[in-house]
């Protein structure tokens, strides 16, 4: 029974380590498919090498597994700790190289060490034939993987944070090593000491919280013309800014959005949907309209209210994926504000497609307006910038764009689109065929 328990722990913690690694990478390289797919691929490759290595072990089976669990537990507990991952990406540039170092020194060694478990312990299983032994070993390992991925991501990270999930995964491996070495006190001492190191590595100060979706921090700012200015950081990006002035001083793009809604469009007693809650500053101190925020992280409102706003957020809140909400809601809004980011400057890829913009238009009243905060190159010259705007306009027709920081390489770009507009084929004036004078007055010749 001990062997099956050890195999179960291996499956639980190996896939748990992979899930945690994917989450730890989000603030640094995002969560797009070009990040998750190679990460899973590296993990599976190291696991395969581990299988081959374990198949060559001919003696000392329990000792080998105990050593592997001890090493994997220490690597997971220290290597997956938030300060360690931040240090790797802060001191190694470019980011791609830091990612490869993280794979080489943290995730892949864990997979390689734990991958040896099943072939090593299969030698000790007493069954009528080899197939039955390997089948039972894979059953308990895969069952552990299933429960590890579900429990750590859905329960532990959601309720207790990512650091707790790291500790749970690492301590599980160290407990497995202790079970195998409990008869020798001097060898049992190593897992106990390792558990202390793991807990200490994950007790680093967190200004706000870390959840299954993001790292949150609040930092004080040194701005002499503001009262207690502070910055709300989500996945290491500057998400929101506020102070205790009346009215509060916020990020420039928030001020632009508020001016457009309240002054330019004259919104009063309107329903405004905000996709991506940030720090809930768009509605801060704004009593004229009704705001509904949608964000994928159920914890973000409580974190923002306690650590950033230091007051209740103004407006309703729905914890749901932005695309899923606009595709399924029966409500219609006078404005939809899109402000969704998963890291420094990355909009989740499923929120820039034609299908998403079509769903956002569905959530608008016929005369409604969409405003999107996009971080693009300030000249709007890169393929990414052109294609994002082209995709929006394929649904909404021509959208107005306002570049807020024209002198910087990357800038906040506010795109404003109207549900009443329609996309149209491009038209070009030439000396031979020029309808400019007629079209100034709304006359169009077919």
CATH of the domain at 28: 1.20.1250.20
**Is residue 355 in a domain?**
yes
Q: What is the pLDDT of residue 23?
A: 92
Q: Which of 157, 185, 205 represents a domain boundary (last residue)?
A: 205
With a cut of 70, which residues of the chain have pLDDT below it? 126-130, 182-187, 204-208, 342-346, 442-446
Longest Cα–Cα distance in the chain: 94
234 in the same domain as 131: no
Residues 164 and 307 grouped into a single domain: no
pLDDT score for 438: 73
Q: Are residues 284 and 200 in the same domain?
A: no
Same domain, 94 and 184: yes
Q: Which residues have a Cβ under 8 Å from the Cβ of 197 and sit 6 or more positions away?
A: 74, 77, 78
How far apart are alpha carbons 360 and 351 in whole angstroms?
A: 10
Close Cβ partners of 178 (under 8 Å, ≥ 6 residues apart): 188, 191, 192
Residue 263 lies in a domain: yes
Residue 307 φ/ψ, nearest 5 degrees: -100, -25
Residues 247 and 187 in one domain: no
The pLDDT assigned to 446 comes to 55
Give the pLDDT score at 11.
95
Question: Cα dihedral angle (159, 163, 167, 168), rounded to 10 degrees?
Answer: 30
Residue 368 lies in a domain: yes
Does residue 254 belong to any structural domain of this protein? yes
Does 105 fall in a domain? yes
Angle at 440 between CA 438 and CA 445, to 5 degrees: 35
Same domain? 175 vs 233: no
CATH number, domain of 235, equals: 3.40.50.150
Q: Do 405 and 289 sit in the same domain of this protein?
A: yes
Report yes or no on 219 lying in a domain.
Answer: yes
300 and 248, same structural domain?
yes
Q: What is the pLDDT of residue 133?
A: 72
* Residue 26 falls inside a structural domain: yes
Q: Verify that 179 and 280 share a domain, yes or no.
A: no
| pLDDT value of position 435 | 78
Round to whole Å and give the CA distance between 341 and 344.
Answer: 7
Q: What is the 3-state secondary structure (H, E, C) of the chain?
A: CHHHHHHHHHHHHHHHHHHHHHHHHHHHHCCCHHHHHHHHHHHHHHHHHHHHHHCCCCCCHHHHHHHHHHHHHHHHHHHCCHHHHHHHHHHCCCHHHHHHHHHHHHHHHHHHHHHCHHHHHHHHCCCCCHHHHHHHHHHHHHHHHHHHHHHHHHHHHHHHCHHHHHHHHHHHHHHHHHHHHCCCHHHHHHHHHHHHHHHHHCCCCCCCEECCCCEEEEEECCCCCCCCCEEEEECCEEEEEECCCCCCCCCHHHHHHHHHHHHHCCCCCCEEEEECCCCCCCCCCCCCCEEEEEECCCCHHHHHHHHHHCCCCCCEEEECCHHHHHHHCCCCEEEEEECCCCCCCCCCHHHCCHHHHHHHHHCEEEEEEEEEEEEEECCCCCHHHHHHHHHHHHHHCCCEEEECCCCCCEEEEEEEEECCCCCCCCCCCCCCCCCHHHHCCCCCCC
Residues 97 and 130 in one domain: yes
Q: How many Å apart are CA 113 and CA 14, to the nearest integer?
A: 9
**Of 152, 178, 205, which residue sits at a domain end?**
205
Same domain, 310 and 264: yes
Domain count, the chain: 2
Residue 437 lies in a domain: no
Nearest alpha-carbon partner for 209 in 127, 299, 76 = 299
Do 289 and 162 fall within a single domain?
no
Last residue of a domain, one of 205, 239, 259: 205
Q: What pTM was computed for the model?
A: 0.82
Domain that holds residue 90: 2-205
């Amino acid at each position: 029974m001990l062997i099956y328990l050890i195999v179960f722990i291996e499956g639980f913690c190996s896939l748990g380590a992979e899930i945690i690694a994917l989450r730890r990478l989000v603030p640094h390289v995002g969560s797009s498919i070009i990040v998750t797919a190679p990460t899973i691929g590296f993990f599976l490759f190291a696991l395969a090498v581990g299988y081959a290595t374990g198949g060559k072990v001919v003696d000392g089976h329990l000792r080998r597994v105990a050593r592997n669990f001890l090493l994997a537990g220490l690597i997971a507990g220290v290597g997956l700790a938030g300060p360690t991952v931040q240090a790797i990406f802060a001191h190694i540039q470019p980011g791609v190289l830091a990612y490869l170092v993280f794979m080489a020194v943290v995730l892949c060694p864990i997979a390689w060490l734990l991958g040896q478990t099943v072939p090593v312990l299969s030698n000790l299983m007493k069954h009528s034939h080899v197939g039955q032994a390997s089948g039972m070993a894979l059953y308990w390992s895969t069952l552990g993987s299933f429960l590890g991925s579900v429990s750590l991501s859905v329960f532990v990270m959601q309720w207790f944070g990512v650091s707790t999930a790291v500790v749970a995964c690492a301590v599980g491996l160290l407990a497995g090593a202790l079970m195998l070495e409990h008869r020798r006190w001097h060898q049992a001492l190593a897992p106990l000491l390792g558990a202390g190191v793991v807990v200490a590595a994950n007790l680093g100060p967190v200004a706000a919280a870390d959840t299954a979706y993001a790292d949150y921090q609040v930092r004080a700012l040194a701005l002499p013309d503001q009262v207690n200015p502070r910055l709300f950081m989500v996945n290491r990006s500057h998400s929101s800014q506020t102070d205790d002035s009346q009215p509060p001083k916020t990020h420039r793009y928030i001020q632009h959005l508020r001016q457009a809604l309240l002054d330019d469009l004259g919104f009063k007693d309107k329903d405004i949907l905000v996709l991506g809650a940030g720090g809930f500053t768009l509605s801060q101190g704004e009593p004229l309209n009704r705001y509904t925020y949608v964000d994928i992280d159920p914890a973000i409102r409580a974190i923002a209210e306690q650590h950033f706003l230091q007051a209740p957020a103004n407006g309703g809140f729905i914890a749901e994926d932005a695309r899923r909400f606009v595709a399924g809601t029966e409500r219609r809004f006078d404005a939809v504000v899109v402000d969704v980011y998963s890291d420094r400057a990355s909009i989740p890829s499923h929120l820039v497609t034609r299908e998403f913009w079509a769903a956002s238009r569905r959530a608008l009243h016929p005369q409604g307006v969409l405003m999107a905060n996009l971080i693009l190159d300030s000249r709007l010259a890169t393929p990414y910038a052109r294609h994002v705007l082209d995709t929006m306009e394929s649904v909404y027709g021509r959208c107005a764009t306002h570049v807020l920081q024209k002198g910087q390489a990357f800038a906040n770009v506010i795109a404003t689109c109207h549900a009443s507009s329609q996309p149209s084929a491009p038209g070009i004036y030439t000396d031979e065929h020029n309808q400019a004078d007629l079209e100034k007055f709304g006359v169009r010749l077919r």
